[in-house]
Amino acid sequence: MPVISAAGLARTFPTKRGPVEAVRSVDLTVQEGEILGFLGPNGAGKTTTLRMLTTLLAPTGGAATVAGHDLATDPAGVRRACGYVAQSGGVDPQITVREELVTQGRLYRLPKARAVERALELAHDLGLTQLLDRKAGALSGGQRRRLDIAMALTHRPKVLFLDEPTTGLDPGSRADLWDLVRRLRDEQGTTVFLTTHYLDEADALADRLVIVDRGTVVAEGTPSALKLRHGGSIDATLQDTFLAITGRGPAPADAAPVAV
């Protein structure tokens, strides 16, 4: 049974010049324990779709469920079932890693003793134990991303949404984060919904890819299947395959974000 299912998901924004269809009609399914790469050129509707699936933005059309919870009728259930790591991160640079993790636990209504215990568990699982008493502002980029993910895992979500998780990281930190994502799937069965502009990252991590353009799904399949179908060879690069599908490349990883 799919852990994420969407049919005709749409979002239109009113503007002075008339309505803008950021997402026109997205149909997708994500299976339990799958790492899904959600790709598209800048302005294709990736971020809007992700925000709708995490209840941060209400759809104006279509329907979707996350872990059996309907976006429209049970948004609280969706939020309980998912963790979300935004591209910009969300840690407070003035407090320690320990304080950040315990506070997150308390926000999820864990008793204080259990919140402390859960903070230690997360620190161990994500390689943060030696950093517990360091202020978040003193962490490296890779360490901060691990803390972001630890916070998103506080309530043991079934689905983890990662929005551009490795933007700005050095190659070593990126590789460490890739390993972490694989471990979350392999050891805990976490379903991962990943958006990224790094096509090598999508190729290395994703079990399956969904590519959107102009607000709708234009291709989906395993990386190998898409390369063979659209790139002409299983040895084609995902970059060439992406260009063949969309006619345009992904935005540079350091490009200014577009809110669609």
Q: Where are the domains positioned within the chain?
A: 16-246
> Whole-number mean pLDDT of the chain?
90
The pLDDT tens digits for 152-179 are: 999 999 999 999 888 888 888 888 889 9
What architecture (CATH level 2) is domain 16-246? 3-Layer(aba) Sandwich (3.40)
Beta carbons of 54 and 64 less than 8 angstroms apart:
no
Predicted TM-score (pTM) of the model is 0.89
Spatial strand order of the sheet with 159-163 comes to 69-70, 61-66, 2-13, 20-31, 216-221, 208-213, 35-39, 191-195, 159-163, 82-85
Report the C-alpha gap between 16 and 116 in whole angstroms.
50
> DSSP string spanning 18-43?
--EEEEEEEEEEEETT-EEEEE--TT
C-beta separation of 220 from 209 below 8 A? yes
* Residue 250, pLDDT score: 58
pLDDT of residue 254: 43
Burial class (CB in 10 A: 0-12, 13-18, 19+), 133: exposed
Q: Report pLDDT for 234.
A: 86
pLDDT at 253 over 60: no
Residue with the bigger pLDDT between 252 and 151: it is 151
Q: What percent of the chain has pLDDT over 70?
A: 95
pLDDT for the residue 217: 95
- The pLDDT, as a whole number, for residue 255 is 40
Percent of the chain with pLDDT over 90: 73
CB atoms within 10 A of CB 158: 20
Question: Are the C-beta atoms of residues 209 and 201 closer than 8 Å to each other?
Answer: no
Distance CA 134, CA 253 (A): 29
Where residue 180 falls (left for φ over 0; alpha for ψ -120 to 50; beta otherwise) is: alpha
